[in-house]
Amino acid sequence: MTIADTKTHLPWDCLFQLENAFLDHPSFPENLAVDASFSNTVLAKGISTWRTAQEASDLPSFEQEFFIPVASDCPTILAIADPQHEGDNHITLLILAWTYILSARWAEIIPGASGPEYSDCEAEWDDKNIPFERAPTGSTTAIIDLGDIDDDAARWWAAVLALEGGWNAYISSEKGHVLHSPWYTKLVSEQRFTLSRGTKSRPLLAQHRAASFATALRYLSSYCEFHEVAEQSHAALAATLLLPVARFDNRTVQLPTPRVRRKARFNKERFNKETVCKTLEWSENLNQLDGLLTLSCNAVGTKALLNSVFFEPEVACNICGAWLQGTFAFLDSDIVQDQHILLRVLMKRDPSLGFLWLGAFVIGAQTRSLQEARQAWWKIDLHVAAWTGTLMSFIQEPVSTLAPETEEISRADECRLLYLSHDQYYTGPPLFPFAPFGSTAIIDTNIDVRQHTQCETSHGLEYKGLTWRCRAGQRVATTIARIPLRAKNGQPTDGNISVTYDNIDNEDDDCSEMVTRNIFTWLRDEDGFSVAERAIREHEWIDNFDSDDDSPITGDAQSTVGGNLHGWLLKTITRRSNSL
C-alpha cells in the first residue's frame, strides 16, 4: 500500500517531526571502534550507565552492554509493482535516493567503510523525449524527468535508479566477507526506469567519481524543488529509516511504479537560488540526521518503539490477552479498515512516533508489528526507550513509596527492586512489558527487596549516559538530561464509536498465559515460590515451572494472589476508556 497517494489522507505534519524528533538520541562518534569479527554483520558497541533515580540511593549504579549492527551481508529486497493510484508518485525514486544518501553518510562515519562507488550498471536515457501522457499503455518503462541537470547529477541518478545495482557502499569483515550499508537494497521488477533531462541526453563518461553525501543531498533537493515533492521526500526518508526493519523481518518491500510528469523548466537563476536554500535544511541539521541514522541501524529498537503503542501500564500480565483482544476488536472494526484511518489511530496513540509509523506503512512493515502485537509477542529495548522518552515497560516506572508499617509490596515493585539491585540473576529486565499482578508479603521477598522497601529513598530506573567503544582503546561518553516518559493517549479517535466485542474469545488465554509464565519465571526462578503463592505455582499456566524443589507446598498463605487467576481473566472484557 502506498501511503503517499494524496495529502487529504495523510497527517503530513508528522513528517516534519523528522527535523527535531528525539534530539537526545545518540549518534555514532568519530573514531568509533567496530567489531568486524562476524561474517554477516559489523557491530558498534558501547556501555550504558543506569542509576536508581537519586544520587543518595543505597542501590548502586550499574552498567549494561549495548551494540548496534552497522552492516549486513544481505540486501533488503524491493519489488516494484504497478501503481494503484492517480497522480504523480515519486516515493520509490526518493527512497532509492535516500538509500544512497544515508549510505554515503554512513561511509563517512563508520571507520573502515568505503564508498559509495558507482558500478558499470546505469539506468537508460530517453533520447526521444516522449511526453508522459503519450507513454504506451501497459509499458514496462517509467519515464523519469530529472529537470535541467548537469552530467555529474545525471550520472548519480543513473546509478541510483539502475535496476541491476548502480552503486555500493561496503565494509570488509575480518574474515574477508564484503558487507554492505544497512540501506543496501536489491530491486526486483519488470519495470525499468528511463531518464530524461532538459539538456540533451547523451552517453556519460564511464569514469565519474561517485557523489559524496553532501553532493547527493543537493541533487535530491534539486529534484524535490523541480517537482515540488518536499513532503514526499520526507515520507521517503521515514520509509528508508525503516528498511533495516524489513530486512530484519526477512520480508520483501512492495513499492509502486513511479509516475513522473514532465514539467516546464524554471528560470535557471531562480531555480538554483531556491535549490540552495532547500538543501541547507538537512546540511545544517547534520546532528539530527546522524541521530536518525543511528536509530535506523537499530532495527530491534525501532520495532520496540512501534509496538510500544500497545503497552498500557495499568494492564497486568494475566489480562494482557484480553486487553489486546479488545484493542484489535477496535482495529479490526469496519471503521478502521481504511489503512489511512488505521495509521491515524496508531499515530495518535503516541504522536512522537508518528513518522516511524508512517515509514512503516509506506514499506508495509506495519503488518509484522500488528501481528506481533496481536500475539503479545514483542520485546522491549530500554536503551531506545530512554533515548526517546518512550514508556514501553512497567519496569521503567518508579517504585511506589511504602508507608512504614506496610507489610506487602506489589509484585510489580518487587520486580523493579530486583532489577535495580542487579543481582547476578536479575541483570536483564523482564522480556515482556506487562507487570505481574497482586502483591507479596515483604517477609516473603528476596533479601535485596526487603532491604530497600522501607529505606526512605525513592527508587526508579534512570538512564545516566552511554560510553562508546572507540579505536585505540578510547572511550567517548555521552550524557543527557533525564527525558520524561511520555504517557500514552487514551482516546485516539474523535467521537463515540461503537465497537462490537462479540468475536472476542474468552477462552483464548494464550497471550496472557505466555506473558504470565514468563514474568513469574523471571521473578521466581532463583528463590522459588513462597508458601503463600501455592495457588499460582500450581496453576496450569505455571505448572511446568522448572524448579529443583517439586515437593508439595504446605503452610499458611500470606501473600495476595490477586484474585482467582483464571476466573478473573474470563470475566474481563476490554471496554476500557483508554483502550486503543
The pTM of the whole model exceeds 0.85 = yes
Three cell numbers at 382? 530500554
> Nearest Cα to 249, choosing from 300, 297, 294, 308?
300
8 Å CB contact between 103 and 184: yes
Tell me the chain's radius of gyration from C-alpha atoms.
27
Residues 6+ apart with CB under 8 A from 212: 104
8 Å CB contact between 213 and 108: yes
Residue whose cell numbers read 524554471: 266
Percentage of the chain with pLDDT > 70? 80
Contacts by residues 7-15 (CB-CB < 8 Å, ≥ 24 positions apart): 7/231, 9/340, 10/235, 10/340, 10/343, 10/358, 11/343, 11/344, 11/347, 11/354, 12/231, 14/347, 14/351, 14/354, 14/355, 14/358, 15/231, 15/234, 15/235, 15/238, 15/355, 15/358
Amino acid at 544: N
pLDDT score at 550: 42
- Per the model's pLDDT, the better-predicted residue between 561 and 386 turns out to be 386
> Nearest Cα to 106, choosing from 221, 209, 244?
244
Per-residue pLDDT, averaged over 316-339, amounts to 89
**Is pLDDT above 50 for 266?**
no
Q: What angle do CA 35, 37, 38 make, to 5 degrees?
A: 105
**361-419: pLDDT as tens digits:** 999 999 999 999 999 999 899 999 999 999 999 999 999 988 888 889 999 999 999 99
- Measured between alpha carbons, how far is residue 63 from residues 60, 83, 136, 270 in Å? 10, 50, 63, 55
Three cell numbers at 335? 471503521
Amino acid at 536: I
> Nearest Cα to 179, choosing from 72, 324, 95?
72
**Out of 140-154, 451-465, 493-507, 521-535, least confident range:** 493-507
pLDDT score at 558: 52
**199-211: pLDDT as tens digits:** 765 556 666 789 9
pLDDT score at 139: 62
pLDDT score at 264: 55
pLDDT score at 136: 52
pLDDT score at 279: 42
> Residue 498 — pLDDT band, cuts 50, 70, 90?
low
pLDDT score at 257: 87
8 Å CB contact between 177 and 39: yes
Residues 6+ apart with CB under 8 A from 340: 3, 9, 10
Q: What is the average pLDDT value for the chain, to the nearest integer?
A: 83
- Measured between alpha carbons, how far is residue 264 from residues 147, 196, 268, 475 in Å? 9, 13, 12, 54
pLDDT score at 508: 62
The full set of domain ranges for the chain reads 39-68+395-469, 73-297
Residue 408's SS3 state is strand
**43-71: pLDDT as tens digits:** 999 999 998 876 556 788 999 999 999 99
**88-125: pLDDT as tens digits:** 789 999 999 999 999 999 999 999 999 999 999 999 99
> Residue 312 — pLDDT band, cuts 50, 70, 90?
very high
Bond before 116 cis per omega within 30 degrees:
yes
- Measured between alpha carbons, how far is residue 555 from residues 75, 120, 305, 462, 564 in Å? 60, 79, 45, 39, 19
Q: Name, of 78-92, 128-142, 143-157, the range with top average pLDDT.
A: 143-157
> Residue 490 — pLDDT band, cuts 50, 70, 90?
confident
DSSP run (H or E) holding 78: strand 76-81
Amino acid at 73: D
User: How many other CB atoms are found less than 10 A from the CB of residue 67?
Assistant: 14
Per-residue pLDDT, averaged over 442-455, amounts to 87
